[in-house]
Amino acid sequence: MKEFILGLPKVELHLHIEGSLEPELLFKIAERNQIDIPYDSPEALRQAYQFEDLQSFLDIYYQGAHALHTEQDFYDLTWAYLERCKLDNVIHTEIFFDPQTHTDRGIAFDTVINGIYNALLDGEKSFGISSNIIACFLRHLSQESAIETLESILKHQDKITGVGLDSSEAGNPPEKFKYAFQLAKQAGLKTVAHAGEEGPAQNIIDAIDMLKVSRVDHGVRCVEDEDLVKQLINNKMALTVCPLSNIKLRVFNDMSQHNIVDLLRRGVTVTINSDDPAYFGGYMTDNFMAVNQSHKMTKSELTQLTINAIEASFISEELKDKYR
Ligand code: HPA
Ligand code: ZN
């Protein structure tokens, strides 16, 4: 099955580019930017990646992202991720970035988006990997800050497909960003949001109803509301599930407890994604392998995960036809 999973074409819909920053690259970038890292080696830093919950991860993740300063840094980060995509037979990826993590410390929005975008263009040329960019609002910040960020996003709308919502879910429900999402939609952007990762099923309902999302990031706590599960099935609403992330952040105790295969067998449009692979110990193939090891899936079920991701992606109908 390992050969089958490795060879299976994959589509990634939930990947924070800042979360693909491997300790080795972090050290290299920090050195050229003359930033001190309070660890002796990349290995020592990796050892420190032990998390109790979402917040304990986010604290370390934002710290790592602060090493990124120049357009070249963002290019190198994105390029390293694309090299991993090639190894994992990822044919299309839709990547998140967190503009406010950078603009709030004085890095220009243009620096960030140009570095990421140029790497993605080169990834398409060199590896044939197609891609889209989704800019996420940090939900622990205000709606005003999100709207200000939206103004920058709109200046780069030729490069950005949609907006998302990430960071601390507890205490920051979808409702807080209703107006910012309405403005984004009116401008023609797609919308997605993290919901039902650590927050309740109600956040999934609100992301769909109030933020008009095209898909839900994580969404695994939907099982707490049977009517919601039925609605997800009927409306073919996709969930971008991140199995290794969920174990690392203790959303589930272990992979055998994870509900993704149950949801798949019930007809929910679930997909497998890597979230923050440098922190959670695995890219796309690793996530597929981990789920299959605990749940013994058929080839047709594994293929269905890719079909679901193609259908839930923001690629054009022509390109979808090519990938189908
Ligand atoms: N959840 C919420 N915010 C995030 C995550 C996540 O898994 N990764 C990066 N930002
Ligand atoms: Zn995420």
Secondary structure tally for the chain: helices H, strands E:
17, 8
Which residue's structure tokens are 């080169």? 122
For all residues of the chain together, what is the average pLDDT? 98
Structure token pair of residue 204: 């999934």
- Domain range spanning residue 137? 2-314
Query: Does residue 277 lie in a domain region?
Result: yes
Q: Compute the distance between CA of residue 281 and CA of residue 91 in angstroms, rounded to an integer.
A: 21
| 324 in a structural domain | no
Residue 319 lies in a domain: no
- 127 domain residue, yes or no: yes
**pLDDT grade for 148, boundaries at 50, 70 and 90:** very high
Ligand 1 centre from 194 Cα, in Å? 8
| Segment 60-79 mean pLDDT | 97
- CA distance linking residue 84 with residue 71, whole number of Å: 20
pLDDT at res. 9: 98
Pocket test for ligand 1, best of 13, 14, 16 (most atoms within 8 A of CB): 16
User: What are the structure tokens assigned to 302, written together?
Assistant: 């594994």
Domain membership of residue 9 (yes or no) is yes
Interface ipTM:
0.96
Q: What is the pLDDT of residues 177-206, one digit of tens each?
A: 999 999 999 999 999 999 999 999 999 999
Examine residue 97 and state whether it is found in any structural domain, yes or no: yes
Tens of pLDDT, residue by residue over 204-252, are 999 999 999 999 999 999 999 999 999 999 999 999 999 999 999 999 9
Residues with CB under 6 A from ligand 1: 16, 19, 54, 61, 166-167, 194, 197, 245, 275-276
Please state, in angstroms and rounded to a whole number, the distance separating the CA atoms of residues 244 and 260: 12
- Smallest CA separation from ligand 1 atom 4, residue: 167
Residue 306 lies in a domain: yes
- Cite the active site residues: 197
Q: What is the pLDDT of residue 316?
A: 94
| 30 in a structural domain | yes
Q: In what order do the strands lie in the sheet with 130-138?
A: 10-16, 90-97, 130-138, 162-166, 190-195, 215-218, 238-241, 270-272
- CATH number of the structural domain spanning residue 227: 3.20.20.140
| Domains held by the chain: number | 1
Nearest CA to ligand 1 atom 10: 167
pLDDT for res 304: 98
Residue with the nearest Cα to atom 7 of ligand 1? 275
Lookup result for tokens 């030729």: 158
